[in-house]
Amino acid sequence: MSVELKNITKAFGSTEVLKDVNIRIEKGEFFVLLGPSGSGKSTLLRIIAGLEEPDRGEILINGQRVNELDPSKRNIAMVFQNYALYPHMNVFNNISFPLKMRGVKKEEIISKVREVANLLNITHLLDKYPYQLSGGEQQRVALARALVRDPEVFLLDEPLSNLDAKLRVKLRFELRKLLHDQLGITTIYVTHDQIEAMTMADRIAVINKGALMQIGTPTELYEKPKNTFIATFIGTPSMNLIMARVEDNAIKVFGRRIIVRDKTRLPEGDIILGIRPQDIKVGEPSIARLKLAGEEKLGSGYILHLNFENSELLLYLERETAAVKGEFIPVLFDGPLYLFDSSTEELVTKIDNYEV
Amino acid sequence: MAILASKKNIERLTFILLIIYPFTLNAFFGYFSAVFSFWLSFYSWDILSPMKFVGLSNYYALFQELWRGLNLLFSDPNLLQFRAPFFNGLKNILVYTAIVVPTQTFLALMLALMGNQKIRGSQFFKVAYFLPATTCSVIISLIFMWLFEKDGFINFFIIPFTGGYRINWLNDPTYLLTAISLVAIWGTSGNFSVTFLSGLQTLPKEVYEAAKIDGASSLNRLIHITIPLLKPIIAYVVIMGLIGALQMFDLSYVMAGSSGGVGGAGYTITLDIYNTAFLQLRYGYAAAKSVILFLLIFSLSYYVQNKLRYYRHE
Amino acid sequence: MNRKLFNILKISGIYLVLIFFALVYLMPFIRSLFGSFMTWEQASYFPPQWIPNPMTFTNYLKLVEISLFPTWIINTAIYSGIIVLVNILTASMSGYAFASLNFPKKDLIFNTLLALLMIPPFVTLIPNFIIYVKLGIIDNLFGLAILSTANISSIFLMRQYYFSLGKELFEAARIDGANPLKAFFYIALPLGRPALGAISIYNFLAAWNAFLGPLVFLRSPENYTLPVGLSFAFSRSIWSDYGPIIAGSLIASAPTILLFVVLNKYLIRGIVIRASKG
Ligand SMILES: Nc1ncnc2c1ncn2[C@@H]1O[C@H](COP(=O)(O)OP(=O)(O)OP(=O)(O)O)[C@@H](O)[C@H]1O
Ligand SMILES: [Mg+2]
């Protein structure tokens, strides 16, 4: 089922938590709400669920306005961050609860519960109580409870954040396979972890301070970030932002001129130049020689911290350099450049073809 | 059905359904009655004959009684109970409160501090100290009346200190209020010591460990860490003790009788309200007295609360 | 060495004081237990004697000779039973409502109720008595019980308890298709059991030991509860001597003593909740 949010606005007291949010989520889509802590993601999800009421705006499920519907009548399912399993019921009763509340017949309940328990490999846990389960098992029970009644929309609020790193990576993959590929349920998934968002989502909506920043596929967000917030929020390590100037349709940076090969005309004056750490290389013909301030080992590669003027430039390498701390090393740009307006921080243009 | 389908209305209706009984009951027998009581204090009424509005004369009579009592206190205290019972009750309850509240608070704190040491059998001590608080005050009074007899159990332990003199606790106006106070302290101090004990157990361990490392002696830790940290609980215990003491009724009613015992030495405000209302059937006058009691309790506990809060910020 | 000695002395000192006070607090009960099996002559002997001689059950037998005493036991049990049962319902229902349902100005409503705790019972006693007289339910055990069926402290305690469980559980139930009322019966009520246990004990103790209410609202001796009855028996000397009063007191306090000795952990935990609110 499709879910549509129109002009959703919400304030708690005097703090505006959501500002005029408009999103349309298509049927069967795996949609991720991404944003830093406190940005209003959970609030938005809870508004869709009906646990919270928007001050203004409409929620449409399949084209029908549901603002007035009780959560129990919306045919949505939700997995909470702490799972919210009923501590006084065993796993079987936890999973069957939504069916029981809908007056489903006993035999049907049993077969349904067996079916999802099989699907999620928790048949052996049915007699246990939540406190007897590990975090990963609790998570699967919570999923099972949400899945058991074939919801039309599936909401998940940071369902992996209580698990250890290894399990998280594994479940990331499994969750998408199950919900999207196997069952094809419309899913709205909340996370503050951009890697989670990038690996799982069909489309991502980035929220910051209650405002919708950009909606797009992971590739779109990575390749065409709408502003500096998204540019730095998505991709690790973060994109470098350098203060620069445009003069005579050329970018002046590090005392050098970068000439744009495309026919685009650049706005003259101060500008923010963005370049991803992966797109900076060590070597000649260098654009500048910068002092090496430190090095971080990531396992898969290395991040070099380079100093220039009063700020820092990050550089991602796959192999270790021979350079030592304090040494000046030559760097060159080898990838797209992003130009952001210096006051609005919006993307002005992306430059693929240039020459130093 | 349409009303029921709306999310807001389902919740609101359920809310009303769930609280309607407790809310109505408390609103009626709590707020309505409190207002009624205040209103009644301007009337003269014995329930049977019609109500008569008397303006402030109940309060006027009350202050006359207090004034008379104040004069009698210095000229002829023996007549107090007879001529100014409300004043006598007020005087007694203030003396009683002044004895009971500090003593029980101190005793409770001391017992809690000792019980909080790492010792075996602390649960036994908790149960032993708390037991009086779970027992009915009437029963406690009845048992103690037997123990307080002139040839009774308590005097047996007292005579070594009085040179063989057996105090006639319950029939001597000098000792009656003391006897009642002792029973009250016995009955509530254990209860409060358990309150202190649970407070002590929530104090942060790290602070103590840091203090130990800084070389503070156990006495210093007590004075500079424990007592200041316990201030909110001390305030709670003092105020609860105060509210309870000012309304003391059961012990006096049983141990001294509704007329306050010999010379009215065990008379209290609450006994006076009880007598005025239910024996003399002067409901308006009794209501005026209860308004005064409320003001007394409210202002005293407010005063103490502010006083203790002031200490906390020093 | 010195330090060790000091510690031993300190611990023994503490024990000595604690045991002394334990004796002080327990002695009246112990003394009554022994005294209740003595003749009145022996029980009031000076210096006090400990071993009942002759051992006698007359004090207890006298209690049942007059049918009032057994009636009082039954009355007290009915009175306390009603209060405990209804309070379990009112406290859990309104505690849940105040903790997890949306209602305009619900915190104001709650605080209004809570403020009633500051009004001394003596203020409302007289109007309530008058209302009861006018309603014609004076001297009626059930009528009296109604006054104590919506204890505000209990509601407060349940509300705190449900807050401490977190709102997600109730929200999950709503999403799972339970309406607010079903969420109460399936989730809130069963989960409330530990707190409801504590509330039951408190209300039981308060009802079993209540004196002022029964004294004012009950008129005829066959309607009395134990505290009023015993005080009545004493002031009217319905038994010729004091022995049966002692025996009756012991029997009357036996349920609360047993309950407390068995469930003291529960009760003492409840105090923590009450104290942390103050
Ligand atoms: N019931 C509430 N009352 C008042 N403020 C609230 C309430 N719920 C949320 N907020 C505030 O709204 C803002 C957004 O909260 P929300 O929980 O939606 O953030 P989030 O994006 O989910 O963050 P996180 O990643 O930490 O879960 C926060 O500043 C929060 O403090
Ligand atoms: Mg959140």
Residue C273 scores a pLDDT above 60 = no
Across C19-43, average pLDDT: 91
**Same domain, residue pair B66 and B171:** yes
- Co-location of A37 and A158 in the same domain: yes
Cross-chain Cβ contact B250/C18 below 8 Å? no
Q: Would you call B298 exposed, middle or buried from its count of C-beta atoms within 10 A (0-12, 13-18, 19+)?
A: middle
User: Does residue A275 contact residue A249 with C-beta atoms inside 8 Å?
Assistant: no
In terms of domains, do A17 and A79 share one? yes
Cα–Cα dist A58/A6, whole Å = 5
d(CA A149, CA C180): 20
Neighbours of C100 (CB within 10 A): 25
Longest Cα–Cα distance of chain C, Å, equals 77
- Pocket probe mutation, ligand 1, options A9, A14, A16, A17, max atoms within 8 Å of Cβ: A17
Q: What phi and psi, each to the nearest 5 degrees, are found at residue B306? A: -65, -40
State the residue range of the domain holding A348. 240-355
Residue A274 within a domain: yes
User: What was the pLDDT predicted at B47?
Assistant: 83
Indicate if ligand 1 lies below 6 Å from the C-beta of A86. no
Given a cut of 50, the residues of chain A with pLDDT beneath it are none
Q: What is the DSSP string of C6-73?
A: HHHHHHHHHHHHHHHHHHHHHHHHHHHHHHTTS-HHHHT-SS---S-SS---HHHHHHHHSTHHHHHH
Same domain, B24 and B59: no
Which pair of tokens denotes residue B53? Answer: 């509005």
ipTM for this prediction: 0.90
Nearest CA distance, A49 vs chain C (angstrom) = 7
Does residue B81 sit in the same domain as residue B175?
yes
Query: How far is it, in rounded angstroms, from Cα B185 to Cα A313?
Result: 74
Name the region of C99 (left: φ>0; alpha: ψ -120 to 50; beta: rest).
Answer: alpha
Say which amino acid occupies A294. Answer: G
* Rounded Cα–Cα distance for residues B83 and B65 (Å): 8
- Find tokens 């105020």 and name the residue: B239
The answer, yes or no, to whether residue C278 has pLDDT greater than 70, is no
Q: How confident is the model at residue C210 (pLDDT cuts 50, 70, 90)?
A: very high
8 Å CB contact between A57 and A4? no
- Write out chain B's pLDDT in tens, 314 residues: 455 556 678 889 999 999 999 999 999 999 999 999 999 999 998 888 888 899 899 999 999 999 999 988 888 888 888 889 999 999 999 999 999 999 999 999 998 888 887 778 888 888 888 889 889 999 999 999 999 988 889 988 888 888 888 889 999 989 999 999 999 999 999 889 888 988 888 888 777 777 778 777 777 888 888 888 888 889 889 999 999 999 999 999 999 999 998 889 999 999 999 999 999 999 999 999 999 999 999 999 888 888 877 554 43
pLDDT at B284: 94
Q: Of A184, A204, A226, which marks where a domain is finished?
A: A226
Strand pairing report for A186-191 and A153-157: parallel
CA B74 to chain centre: 28
Q: In chain A, which residue's Cα lies nearest the Cα of B5?
A: A69
A113 plus A254 within the same structural domain: no
Pair B74, B28 in one domain = no
Per-residue pLDDT at C276 = 47
Closest CA to A143 of A103, A185, A109, A107: A185
Shared domain check, B217 and B138: yes
Q: Poorest-confidence range of A115-124, B138-147, C9-18, C132-141?
A: C9-18
Mean per-residue pLDDT for C90-107? 94
What is the Cα–Cα distance from B53 to B148, expressed in whole angstroms?
47
- Looking at the fold, whether B72 and B213 belong to one and the same domain comes out as yes
Does residue A233 belong to any structural domain of this protein? no
Is beta strand A203-208 parallel, antiparallel or unpaired with respect to A30-34?
parallel
Neighbouring residues of B161: CB distance < 8 A, sequence distance ≥ 6? none
Residue nearest to atom 16 of ligand 1 (CA): A40
Say if residues A234 and A222 touch (Cβ distance below 8 Å): yes
Q: Which ligand is nearest to the CA of A157?
A: 2
**Residues near A125 by beta carbon (within 8 Å), at least 6 away in sequence:** A91, A117, A133, A137, A141
Say if CB B283 and CB B304 are below 8 A apart.
no
Query: What CATH number has the domain spanning C66-275?
Result: 1.10.3720.10
The whole domain housing B223 covers: 41-312
Contacts with C75 (C-beta within 8 Å, 6 or more apart), sequence order: C141, C223, C224, C225, C226
Question: Which of C166, C175, C190 is closest, CB to CB, to A78?
Answer: C175
Q: Are B156 and C50 in contact (CB under 8 A)?
A: no
- Residue that terminates a domain, selected from A226, A250, A283: A226
pLDDT recorded at residue C1: 57
Interatomic CA distance for residues C84 and C95, integer angstroms: 16
* Alpha carbon of B19: minimum distance to chain A alpha carbons (Å): 21
Tokens in use for C23?
């004796």
Residue A234 lies in a domain: no
Cβ of residue C21 closer than 8 Å to a chain B Cβ: yes
Judge if B91 and B191 occupy the same domain: yes
Inter-chain residue contact A71 with B8, CB threshold 8 Å:
no
Q: Indicate if ligand 1 lies below 6 Å from the C-beta of A40.
A: yes
CB A39 near ligand 1, within 6 Å: yes
Higher pLDDT pick, A324 / C19: C19
pLDDT of residue C267: 64
Residues A166, A106: one domain?
yes
> How many domains is chain A built from?
2
Ligand 1 pocket residue status of A192, Cβ below 6 Å: yes
pLDDT at res. B313:
43
Nearest Cα of chain A lies from the Cα of C271 at a distance, in angstroms, of 25
Residue B147 CB neighbours (<10 A) = 21
From the CA of A44, which ligand is nearest? 1
Q: Does B151 share its domain with B215?
A: yes
Which residues of A are less than 8 Å from C171 in CB distance?
Answer: 46, 49, 51, 71, 78, 80, 84
CA angle A216, A217, A221 (to 5 degrees): 65
Do B234 and B297 have their domain in common? yes
Residues B123 and B230 in one domain: yes
Q: Give the count of domains, chain B.
A: 2
Q: Are B259 and B267 in contact (CB under 8 A)?
A: yes
Among A49, A51, A102, select the one facing C177 at the smallest CB separation.
A102
Domain final residue, candidates A183, A202, A226: A226
Nearest to A77 among C175, C190, C191 (CB): C175
Give the chain A residue nearest B12 (alpha carbons). A70
> What is the C-alpha to C-alpha distance for residues B294 and B285, in angstroms, rounded to an integer?
14
Mutate to test the pocket of ligand 1, among A43, A47, A79, A209 (most ligand atoms within 8 A of CB): A43
Residue B168 and residue B281 in one domain: yes
A231 within some domain: no
Same domain, B28 and B50: no
**A275 and A349 together in one domain:** yes
In this predicted structure, the answer to whether residue C140 has a pLDDT above a threshold of 80 is: yes
Look up the CATH number of the domain holding residue A274. Answer: 2.40.50.140
pLDDT of residue B82: 84
* CA A56/CA A19 separation, integer angstroms: 10
- A135 in a structural domain: yes
CATH number at residue B196: 1.10.3720.10
Question: Radius of gyration of chain B from Cα atoms?
Answer: 25
**Separation between Cα atoms, residue C140 and residue C71, nearest integer Å:** 14
